[in-house]
Amino acid sequence: MEREYREAKMNNALGATQLSFWLSRLSRRDDCIRGMGRLMGWYELAVDPLMDPQLLRDPQAMVGRLAWLREQLNLWLPGADERSAATRFLAFLELSLLPPLNETGTLQERLKLIRTEPLGEQSAMMQAYAGIVLAGMFPDREEHALSLAGFQQLMQQVPSGRSNHEMWNAAAQWAYRNGHSSVLEQALEFCVMGYPGAVDEQAWRMTNLLYRLHSGRAISQDVECLIHSFEHPVQLSHFREDLLGDCENAGLINREMVYWLERRDTELRRELLAMEENLRAAG
């Protein structure tokens, strides 16, 4: 019983770490949403408080916070299209940040909120963002599955210049699992050229590895460079779960690669622990 308790506690901590990492990327870099005029202010009010460590470790509190944000939409966002976009974003957060919804009705309700007919450009773009990122985040969940035609339809809803790394990174994950070469090529092009002067090294190295694995041209250096580009233990954990087996099958993992993988994992966890201790000391 004690061992089970410790394991459960460890799993909860890992979940909080994953949420913290994902939200930090979302709040820092989501120009797709930040460019939506008045919606930007609401977006910052919605996301920033979710970074609270206590909230991240308490799913019920997270549910309460998201419900409160939903109730306040009429006060913050006078435009119907803005409110529709924000409603979809809250449903997206609930599906992606919280444990899998046990009640089928609740799950279908959230998906319906995202997939209903958009009212305008902002809700259409949010629908595309949520659909693509959920498909990339949860490739094994049938409810988030996308066909190639469905993916292309969602991408047509995103105005030129308004897509972002998170969306294309998810698109690359989805395309790799479903064997869509053309989408992998588009994702790689965006990761290299999408933000002039601000290339996301980890995003493009991951997309590059996915593309080269798919085309049978990956080499060990692609894997090693990706490992060194990881900035957080969660990224490395996802690599182990989603790609390590494929890399092993391609003959890309040797004793030296295992060494670099373990070393980077240790470095990142030490950095994260030091940062958390500094935050506790400062708070």
Banded pLDDT at 199 (limits 50, 70, 90): low
Please state whether the predicted TM-score (pTM) of the whole model is above 0.85.
Answer: no
The mean-pLDDT minimum among 15-19, 79-83, 92-96, 248-252 falls in 15-19
For residues 137 and 96, give the distance between their C-alpha atoms in angstroms, rounded to a whole number. Answer: 8
Per-residue pLDDT, 121: 87
Q: Average pLDDT, stretch 193-202?
A: 63
For residues 204 and 192, give the distance between their C-alpha atoms in angstroms, rounded to a whole number. Answer: 6
CB 33 within 8 A of CB 89: yes
For residues 248 and 252, give the distance between their C-alpha atoms in angstroms, rounded to a whole number. Answer: 6
The mean-pLDDT minimum among 56-60, 253-257, 269-273 falls in 56-60
Q: Which of 176, 242, 240, 249 is nearest to 207 (CA)?
A: 176
Compare 54 and 159 and report the one with higher pLDDT. Answer: 159
Q: Which long-range contacts (CB under 8 A, 24 or more apart) does 246-250 make?
A: 246/213, 247/213, 247/218, 247/223, 250/213, 250/216, 250/218
Considering the chain, what percentage of its residues have pLDDT values greater than 70? Answer: 73
Q: Which of 179, 229, 224, 180 is nearest to 204 (CA)?
A: 229
Residue count (the chain): 283
Compare 262 and 50 and report the one with higher pLDDT. Answer: 262
* pLDDT tens digits along 41-71: 677 666 667 666 666 667 778 788 888 888 8
Banded pLDDT at 9 (limits 50, 70, 90): very low
Q: In the numeric block, which tokens belong to residue 230? A: 């990881």
Q: Average pLDDT, stretch 225-249?
A: 90
Find the angle CA(204)-CA(49)-CA(281) to the nearest 5 degrees.
90
Other residues' Cβ atoms within 10 Å of the Cβ of residue 190:
21
Q: Average pLDDT, stretch 186-205?
A: 75
**Residue 163 Cα to chain centre, angstroms:** 14
Per-residue pLDDT, 6: 36
DSSP summary character for residue 94: H
For residues 173 and 165, give the distance between their C-alpha atoms in angstroms, rounded to a whole number. Answer: 12
Per-residue pLDDT, 55: 67
User: Quick one: angle between helices 233-242 and 220-229, nearest 10?
Assistant: 150
Per-residue pLDDT, 172: 93
* pLDDT tens digits along 14-29: 344 444 444 444 444 4
DSSP summary character for residue 99: S
Confidence check: pLDDT of 195 > 60: no
Per-residue pLDDT, 17: 46
Compare 96 and 128 and report the one with higher pLDDT. Answer: 128
